[in-house]
């Protein structure tokens, strides 16, 4: 086969356009709910923790994964979702970070709005656990604020 004798494309390919939505305490993608930006600022100002929100949109619709863990977890070396891989490439990941933390923003309907990511700089596992809990509470606060401003669904 050469360039002039191309065989017809015989199978179907499912193409989905996806984009990542980012919010930090300083900047916020216009498609990210404004509450997210506010809770990230609160987290930084009150707890001196820097965190970033990452959400995913596929074909113009937010991805709300149901398979998110019920409890937030630390990232292991073998677990790196696309959002975190992107965050590591674009975020300023400090070289002295002891571990990466994540907490899903789970809405009342069970959908995952996105994920909060942060770092812990202490090798102390107790402090890492406390920061993880703070991040999880921040994710819950953001979810409640988002849910409170969504239209009610008729029963």
Tell me how far the alpha carbon of residue 21 is from its chain's centroid.
8
Whether 155 is covered by a domain: the verdict is no
Kindly report the CA angle at 117 between 112 and 121, in degrees rounded to 5?
Answer: 155
- State the pTM of this model: 0.66
Residue numbers of the domain that contains 102: 18-148
Whether 126 is covered by a domain: the verdict is yes
Whether 91 is covered by a domain: the verdict is yes
Beta bridge partners of 18: 58
Whether 99 is covered by a domain: the verdict is yes
- Count of the separate structural domains present in the chain: 1
Whether 128 is covered by a domain: the verdict is yes
State the CATH number of the domain containing residue 118. Answer: 3.30.450.40
pLDDT in tens, 81-113: 555 555 555 455 566 777 778 888 898 988 888
From CA 102, how far away is CA 22, in angstroms rounded?
A: 14
Output DSSP code: residue 26. Answer: S
pLDDT in tens, 114-123: 888 887 777 7
Strands 61-62 and 51-58: antiparallel
Whether 2 is covered by a domain: the verdict is no
pLDDT in tens, 133-144: 999 999 999 999
Whether 94 is covered by a domain: the verdict is yes
Whether 11 is covered by a domain: the verdict is no
- pLDDT value of position 139: 92
């Amino acid at each position: 086969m050469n360039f002039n004798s191309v065989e017809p494309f015989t199978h179907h390919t499912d193409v989905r356009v996806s984009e990542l939505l980012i919010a930090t305490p300083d900047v916020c993608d216009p498609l990210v709910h404004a509450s997210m930006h506010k809770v990230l600022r609160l987290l930084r100002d009150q707890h001196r923790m820097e965190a970033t929100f990452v959400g995913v949109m596929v074909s113009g619709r937010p991805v709300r994964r149901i398979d998110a863990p019920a409890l937030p977890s630390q990232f292991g070396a073998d677990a790196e979702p696309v959002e975190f891989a992107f965050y590591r490439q674009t975020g300023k990941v400090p070289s002295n970070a002891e571990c990466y933390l994540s907490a899903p923003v789970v809405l009342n309907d069970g959908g995952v709005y996105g994920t909060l990511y942060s770092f812990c700089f202490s090798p102390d596992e107790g402090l890492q656990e406390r920061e993880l809990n703070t991040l999880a509470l921040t994710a819950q606060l953001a979810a409640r604020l988002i849910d409170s401003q969504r239209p009610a669904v008729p029963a």
